[in-house]
Amino acid sequence: MWLAGSIVLFWRSWRFIQGTTLESAWRWGASAWSVWGVAWALELNASRIPAGVLDQLWYAVALMLLAALISVLGAKRPGARVWTWFVTVPMLLVLGWPALFAWSQGWPPVRFRLMEPALWAYAVVCIMGLGNYVGTRFLVSAFWMGVALFWLVMPYSGWVPDMLPTPTGCRLRATLCAGMAVIWPATLAASVPFLTPWDRVWVDFVNSFGIVWGRRLQDRFNDTSRQSKWGVKLDLYGLTWDDSQQTVPAAERTKFPRWTPEMTTALQWLLRRFVDQRWLEKRVGKMPDPVSTEP
């Protein structure tokens, strides 16, 4: 069942992010999910597998999930590839040092503990990665993933060990929470209405790339709108009227503003460092060649 579910998950998620700069994040997430399955297969035979090996596998899952989240924060051309080598990999080396040190005692690796500085660093990275989705439609999914990351690291924390479940119990709770995180966006995506294809482009971008990139592009679009006196603004859910601009009389306003060619050109120009034209065409249909100058 895990294998079948993973194949469906990988296929659907890969189709969704094709044509974007999120491919690196997808690879980290897919690797984490694959190792998760291997770790459970070995966990069910824990009597034959050294506990230190299981610790290494489960901690690797946690770190790869964090790598996926942090990769999103650097998913802008042309620096997306550089981000992996200068931010994501060093982060993994710092957080993974306690696990790497456990190998210094030989085979099998000894069980390790995360000291308080390492736990705080882990928590900060979790907040950075998951906080990127606060304000998006996937906030609940981010919450469940945060709980999963909490349970994954608890067996190594040494905090109130008598009150915690066994390591297997912690990992079972992490798996259930991760399942909730995956199921939530799949059910939500089918129920979200879109006013126009370009509203869908924008909402899909914000939900995929998070609030950090969404706010930056939103501010730049709205600056262009004010300078061009379009009378509209972008919020997190699409195009709306801008009451601070009096360029469009209230009596002439329809219920929702329409995207003009100038507006779609401006948005397309802003998105060019994150998505390819094929990603856009899946949502708005065939378009002319991408613009090459700033509106």
What total of structural domains would you count in the chain?
Answer: 2
Choosing from 143, 173, 189, the residue where a domain stops is 189
Cβ–Cβ < 8 Å for 169, 203: no
Segment 152-172 shows an average pLDDT of 80
26/107 same-domain check: yes
Evaluate if residue 161 carries a pLDDT over 80: no
210/178 same-domain check: no
> Which range marks the domain in which residue 251 is found?
197-284
Evaluate if residue 174 carries a pLDDT over 70: yes
This prediction's pTM: 0.87
Residue 153 corresponds to which tokens in the numbers above? 């690291």
Segment 90-117 shows an average pLDDT of 86
Q: Is residue 294 part of a domain?
A: no
* Span 8-52, pLDDT tens digits: 666 777 888 888 999 999 999 999 999 999 999 999 887 788 888
Choosing from 189, 217, 234, the residue where a domain stops is 189
pLDDT at 295: 42
45/175 same-domain check: yes
15/127 same-domain check: yes
Q: How confident is the model at residue 294 (pLDDT cuts 50, 70, 90)?
A: very low
168/207 same-domain check: no
Tell me which of 191 and 164 has the higher pLDDT: 164
97/203 same-domain check: no
239/177 same-domain check: no
69/160 same-domain check: yes
